[in-house]
Structure 1
């Protein structure tokens, strides 16, 4: 962990994988809280960490959003023991995944929460004392990095992994396009995008790419008195 903390401020190959191995987990992700409470994933392994974060981002619920909202760590040592009503959309979506335990640590200083560190493991079991200590140390270091005011922390984190993480830039672009198409606020447009991804059992990033590429267009419901045919019915969503 001491070596990882040194590399955290200077970058280096395989940082995500080394962090996960040191903490005894199979997946790791770091998200930053942007204006309006939006969580932007800036670092994730290409496997379990990225998959779990994309599910949370698509569905808008889970231990990560809870930790970001409350500023309190959410430690789930056995996801199978969680009551269905806690995360009614996320838990069924994880049924075919191998995630057995998830630990989300808010990155905060006092009342200010700037992000979330998410750890996931395949085997359901709690973090031991050493793993918990290391996770808290890493969370503290990440908090300091995200609070750095030179405008570079997110870029530094994003280039530390050799793999691309979530396609959230295209999600934001698609959200803006849907907002214009439907004449609704951005927050409501994101809900439409999430609902479409969930109902079609597809990743949010894939749906967003279809919107940006104009293969998919969201159209407002036609007036009952005189419906107007969409420009391309097979690609419009009302």
Structure 2
């Protein structure tokens, strides 16, 4: 993997849909913030790579401000200039994404793309193996997470129950409030759980 030495940071994310995501690994705190921003706005290279099952290569985030306005704004704010997302998949099974980030614009050379795809395949194989071993031992696979969004799931359920709306609507309201306040949806969810945000603020 020597060809990836020009990559500044990496994110390994487990994904299962818009509301289902956990960050398994982030090489630096600033790139962890980038992952959280992508989860908050629901758009970006990782989201698209998981949805389509194909790599999404973004050599210059500035160019993609119309395509992903919310993500691009946050990415540039933390110092990211280029992002390359590769799906973690085996056949029809998709587990998440491997995202490589650079602080300066520029594409990946063919050797770098090959090694990045190989790294994604190796990560997928490791996750599938660990999942199988956990099942054989009679328990659910529960990896150690760099960032868990479980509080978002709990706050979403609470909001849905109290406002009598669907989980998708409740999650959308959490996201909209977070985006409007320029905060992460995880921080907003924790405020909901700690009663620091009145549910009335999220009712519309």
Q: Structure 1 residue 134 and structure 2 residue 118: aligned? A: no
**Structure 1 regions of 5+ residues with no counterpart?**
3-20, 159-164, 220-235
Corresponding residue to 1:64 among 46, 63, 67? 46
Larger radius of gyration: 1
The residue aligned with 1:120 is 101
The residue aligned with 1:49 is 31
Corresponding residue to 1:168 among 149, 153, 165? 149
Q: Structure 1 residue 150 and structure 2 residue 136: aligned? A: no
Q: Distance in 2 between matches of 1:188 and 1:196?
A: 12
The residue aligned with 1:231 is none
Q: Answer yes or no: is the 8 Å Cα contact 1:28–1:48 preserved in 2.
A: no
The residue aligned with 1:189 is 170
TM-score calculated relative to the size of structure 2: 0.85
Distance 1:63-1:112 versus aligned 2 partners, 3 A rule:
same
Distance 1:51-1:123 versus aligned 2 partners, 3 A rule:
same
Q: Distance in 2 between matches of 1:171 and 1:23?
A: 35
Q: Structure 1 residue 198 and structure 2 residue 192: aligned? A: no
Quote the offset at 1:131 in angstroms. Answer: 2.5
Q: Answer yes or no: is the 8 Å Cα contact 1:74–1:103 preserved in 2.
A: yes
**Number of residue pairs matched by the alignment:** 196
The residue aligned with 1:38 is 20
Q: Distance in 1 between matches of 2:187 and 2:148?
A: 9
Q: Structure 1 residue 26 and structure 2 residue 11: aligned? A: no
TM-score calculated relative to the size of structure 1: 0.74
Q: CA RMSD in A?
A: 2.3
Quote the offset at 1:22 in angstroms. Answer: 4.9
**Structure 2 regions of 5+ residues with no counterpart?**
135-139
